């Protein structure tokens, strides 16, 4: 996501199960519709590259 210009927070063990991880997105009112659309496209691309 960082290569696509999208900042995320990763969450791993012990907050998740040992073999699981999560990605957290922080959205605010300052984000524009275009920014959100760009983020959604990046999420879709990454989800295609790695099976999510």
CB count within 10 Å of CB 1 equals 15
Domain count of the fold of the chain? 1
- In which domain, by residue range, is 39 found? 2-49
- Helix, strand, or coil (residue 14): coil
Model pLDDT, residue 51: 78
Low-confidence ranges of the chain (pLDDT < 50): none
CB count within 10 Å of CB 43 equals 17
Residues 20, 42: contact at Cβ < 8 Å? no
- Per-residue pLDDT of 31-45, as tens digits, reads 999 999 999 999 999
CA–CA distances in Å: residue 6 to residues 15, 18, 19, 52: 22, 25, 24, 18
């Amino acid at each position: 996501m960082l290569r696509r210009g999208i900042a995320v927070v990763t969450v791993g063990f012990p907050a998740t199960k040992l073999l699981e991880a999560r990605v957290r997105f922080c959205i605010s009112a300052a984000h524009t519709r275009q920014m959100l659309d760009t983020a959604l496209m990046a999420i879709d691309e990454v989800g295609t590259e790695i099976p999510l």
